[in-house]
């Protein structure tokens, strides 16, 4: 009997469908990644709790993922269970005059539009950032002088033992592309934001301006995982990479973007191996020429 048989039966009892050998390339913005043994999309927080408890009880390797916008998954895939925090975590509502409660699976684009519709300012910087609310909180996503730490009041989560809890913004220990969740492994299920009242026309204007800047400078038309490297102190990774003559550098179908050297793009059939080799080449050349050690921002799986 398959080691996943009890989990499959339990998931069915919980009303959660599962998929076997699901290609993770279909669930990442890089369009890269081999199959997961079992792929589950819990329809609710309680089902997520139950599945996490079960995976721990049966000692099954578990990967939790959202929109897959910051992941590079192995060509061999993931030998274990993937729990996808998606459509079951799509609630979006006002709480009080200036606060928004948002499910972890809500795309940032939908969240930003919701804030605009209610004349609330503070999330304009996030317009155009790929990914979901949960992932953005997890890594304190930011752009154009804004980041999630400026607007998050609290996150609710489920531990890997299936226990529910929450943390305030301060308790989340938010810093550059980091939160305490990267250390605990707890799964964010919802986020509470504190925004400020604003003029909808001004909010829309700022969103449009940032989106135009993003489209002009970033390769949004090609599959990628966003910025590959963290920003070195006092410098920009993309600038260093460009200064090393690496724009357009290519291994297989993985290429350093010709529009923004801080991005690696998938030109068609790039593999995880292609990307990893290109990352190592970039790191080596930048260090040899500038003495700066670039640190990856992308999370590697497998």
In whole angstroms, what is the distance from residue 232 CA to residue 288 CA? 15
> Which of residues 84, 118, 152 is at a domain's end?
84
In whole angstroms, what is the distance from residue 87 CA to residue 80 CA? 21
Q: How does strand 92-94 pair with strand 99-103?
A: antiparallel
CB 244 within 8 A of CB 235: no
Query: Is residue 207 assigned to a domain?
Result: no
Query: Is residue 163 assigned to a domain?
Result: yes
Q: Are residues 278 and 175 in the same domain?
A: no
Q: Going by C-beta distance under 8 Å and a sequence separation of 6 or more, which residues neighbour residue 59? A: none
Location of structure tokens 């039966």: 9
Assign residue 60 the CATH number of its domain.
3.30.43.10
Sign of the CA dihedral running 103, 109, 111, 114: negative
pLDDT of residue 1: 57
Q: Are residues 185 and 113 in the same domain?
A: yes
Q: Going by C-beta distance under 8 Å and a sequence separation of 6 or more, which residues neighbour residue 80? A: 36, 37, 38, 60, 61, 62, 63
Query: Is residue 215 assigned to a domain?
Result: no
Query: Is residue 208 assigned to a domain?
Result: no
pLDDT of residue 97: 86
Q: Are residues 80 and 184 in the same domain?
A: no
Q: Are residues 94 and 80 in the same domain?
A: no
Q: Going by C-beta distance under 8 Å and a sequence separation of 6 or more, which residues neighbour residue 240? A: 232, 286, 290, 292, 294
Give how many domains the chain has, as a whole number.
Answer: 3
Whether the full predicted model's pTM is greater than 0.85, yes or no, is yes
Q: Are residues 78 and 97 in the same domain?
A: no
Active site residues: 177, 227, 297
Assign residue 186 the CATH number of its domain.
3.30.465.10
In whole angstroms, what is the distance from residue 284 CA to residue 122 CA? 38
> Which of residues 84, 103, 133 is at a domain's end?
84
Assign residue 268 the CATH number of its domain.
3.90.78.10
84, two tokens: 């996808």
Range of the domain at 77: 5-84
In whole angstroms, what is the distance from residue 137 CA to residue 187 CA? 11
98, two tokens: 């200036």
189, two tokens: 């299920």
Q: Consecutive 10-residue runs of the chain (302 residues): their mean pLDDT?
A: 91 96 97 97 96 95 93 96 94 94 96 97 93 93 90 95 90 90 93 97 95 91 94 93 97 97 97 98 97 94 90
Q: Are residues 108 and 10 in the same domain?
A: no
Closest CA to 158 of 95, 88, 100: 88
Buried b (16+ CB within 10 A) or exposed e, 146-156: bbbbbbbebbb
Location of structure tokens 């299936």: 162
CA distances from 182 to 78, 136, 137, 299 (A): 19, 12, 10, 10
CB 155 within 8 A of CB 167: yes
């Amino acid at each position: 009997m398959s080691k996943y048989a009890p989990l499959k039966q339990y998931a069915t009892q919980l009303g959660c469908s599962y998929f076997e050998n699901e290609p993770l390339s279909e669930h990442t913005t890089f369009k890269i990644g081999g199959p997961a043994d079992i792929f589950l999309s819990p329809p609710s927080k309680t089902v997520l709790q139950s599945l996490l408890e079960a995976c721990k009880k049966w000692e099954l390797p578990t990967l939790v993922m959202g929109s897959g916008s910051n992941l590079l998954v192995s060509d061999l895939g993931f030998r274990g269970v993937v729990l996808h925090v998606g459509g079951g975590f799509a609630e979006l509502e006002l709480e009080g005059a200036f606060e928004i409660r948002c499910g972890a699976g809500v795309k940032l684009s939908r969240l930003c539009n919701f804030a605009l519709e209610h004349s609330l300012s503070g999330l304009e910087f996030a317009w155009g950032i790929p990914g979901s609310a949960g992932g953005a909180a997890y890594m304190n996503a930011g752009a154009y002088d804004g980041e999630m730490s400026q607007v998050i009041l609290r996150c609710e989560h489920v531990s890997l033992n299936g226990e529910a809890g929450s943390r305030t913004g301060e308790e989340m220990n938010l810093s550059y592309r980091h939160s305490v969740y990267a250390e605990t492994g707890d799964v964010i299920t919802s986020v509470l934001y504190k925004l400020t009242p604003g003029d909808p026309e001004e909010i829309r204007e700022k969103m449009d301006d940032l989106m135009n800047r993003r489209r002009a400078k970033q390769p949004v038309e090609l599959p990628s995982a966003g910025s590959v490297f963290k920003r070195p102190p006092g410098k920009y990774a993309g600038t260093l990479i460009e200064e090393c003559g690496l724009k357009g550098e290519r291994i297989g179908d993985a290429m350093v973007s010709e529009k923004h050297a801080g991005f690696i793009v998938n030109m068609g059939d790039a593999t995880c191996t292609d990307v990893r080799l290109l990352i190592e080449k970039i790191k080596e050349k930048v260090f040899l020429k500038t003495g700066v050690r670039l640190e990856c921002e992308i999370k590697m799986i497998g």
